[in-house]
Amino acid sequence: MLTVSVLERVVISAVATVLALLIGMVIVAGAGYDPAVFSRNLLDGAVGSEAAIARTLMFTTLFVLTGVSVSIAFRAGVFNIGVHGQFIVGGFATVLAILQTAPVLPEGPIGGVVLLLVGALAAIVAGGAYAAVPGVLKAYGGANEIVTTIMLNFIAIGIVGWLVEGPFRGADQSAPNTERLPEYVELPQLIYSSPDFSIVGLVVALTVTVLIAVLVRRTSFGYEMVTSGQQASAAAYAGVDAKRMVVVTMTLSGMVAGLAGAVFTVMIQGYYSDPAGIGSYGYDAIAVSLLAANNPLGVIPAGLLFGSLDSAGSYIGISSNVPAQLIDGVVGLVVLFVSAPELFRMAAKRIGLGGDEQ
């Protein structure tokens, strides 16, 4: 009885967003700030200028990729809370692979394209391998993947942070950063002139999303993956190796997360810094996936919403005197209101009251 159509889901999300924003305005007014100015800044920060749109699309690119990563595991009945760690490992592997390979390749556009492919491949392999660890532990050791993936997040932050601080710290770097990537290793600025966003990154994210959607919905592999997670007895009757499928699912999820880390590194940073200071894209991706009902294609509008909120929050934090904590609170309120229906729907499904996904 909790099953809803795509249109109903869109309406629920829109109403939840508006309601959360209205409550946020009340909180802003109660704190002594002008809610009308806050609202205008919120809109300006998301879509008020070319720079704002580019910033929104930059965040959207990352949320779409990480959201798809989470949705893969969720649809297969596995909880990959470790997307953040796989994101970090993938991004760091990208920098290492490019810096190690660059000296043996010619400089210029051709060398840049080859290095981008090398970096992306390294990120996919590293992210997939890092996610396969909790998959193996769950499938063959009975370990709780929620616990193991969370712990692996902390391990990734600690180890990569130590590597960036020590062995791989760039020469003459006052901050804990690696060497910068060569100047010719970058995504082209085809539409927007923002140094932190390339439309190529967004195209990569959308392409991966469509491919994953096709894989999940239109192939026997996707059918086995979803069935083994949601109808284990039926999958076993059909001859599906549920343990192997858990490992494969986690690996695939981690590969997408690793690619997200590569896009973040190349498109935004151009080097790698202490992972403790980068955004919480892997954690926010859980809410993105929940909002999308774990539908890979639904992650696109969900990622756009979260990208808009993050972009607006960044703008308000710079252009107004509203405390950053208050901005984060309003944005968190929107996330809570939008995600709550999906959380209830998933809980209802777990106890047999409905909530089947579309």
Read off the pLDDT of residues 309-322 as tens digits, 9 standing for 90 and up: 889 888 887 777 77
Q: What is the dihedral of CA 358, 9, 343, 153, to 10 degrees?
A: 80
pLDDT tens for each residue of 94-115: 999 999 999 998 888 899 999 9
**Is the model's pLDDT at 12 over the cut of 50?**
yes
- For the entire predicted model, the pTM comes to 0.88
pLDDT-derived band at 228 (thresholds 50, 70, 90) equals: confident
Distance separating alpha carbons of residues 258 and 83, to the nearest angstrom: 8
Q: What angle is formed at CA 146 by the lines to CA 140 and CA 147, rounded to 5 degrees?
A: 85
**Is the model's pLDDT at 88 over the cut of 80?**
yes
**Is the model's pLDDT at 201 over the cut of 60?**
yes
pLDDT tens for each residue of 140-175: 998 999 999 999 999 999 999 999 998 999 887 788
Distance separating alpha carbons of residues 135 and 126, to the nearest angstrom: 14
Tally Cβ neighbours within 10 Å of residue 154.
Answer: 12
Distance separating alpha carbons of residues 110 and 259, to the nearest angstrom: 21
Tally Cβ neighbours within 10 Å of residue 218.
Answer: 10
Of residues 10, 140, 81, the one with CA closest to residue 283: 81
Distance separating alpha carbons of residues 197 and 86, to the nearest angstrom: 22
Distance separating alpha carbons of residues 239 and 247, to the nearest angstrom: 16
DSSP state of 167: T
Copy the structure tokens of residue 28: 């802003």
Q: Is 167 exposed, middle or buried (0-12, 13-18, 19+ CB in 10 A)?
A: exposed
Tally Cβ neighbours within 10 Å of residue 351.
Answer: 8
Q: Is 8 exposed, middle or buried (0-12, 13-18, 19+ CB in 10 A)?
A: exposed
Tally Cβ neighbours within 10 Å of residue 113.
Answer: 12
Tally Cβ neighbours within 10 Å of residue 328.
Answer: 12
**Is the model's pLDDT at 356 over the cut of 60?**
no
Tell me how many helices (H) and strands (E) the chain has.
13, 0
Cα 120 to chain centroid distance, Å, stands at 16
Distance separating alpha carbons of residues 318 and 288, to the nearest angstrom: 25
Copy the structure tokens of residue 225: 């993956």
Of residues 304, 306, 307, 331, the one with CA closest to residue 317: 331
**pLDDT value at residue 278:** 85
Mean pLDDT rounded to a whole number for the chain = 86
Rounded to an integer, the average pLDDT of 36-57 is: 89
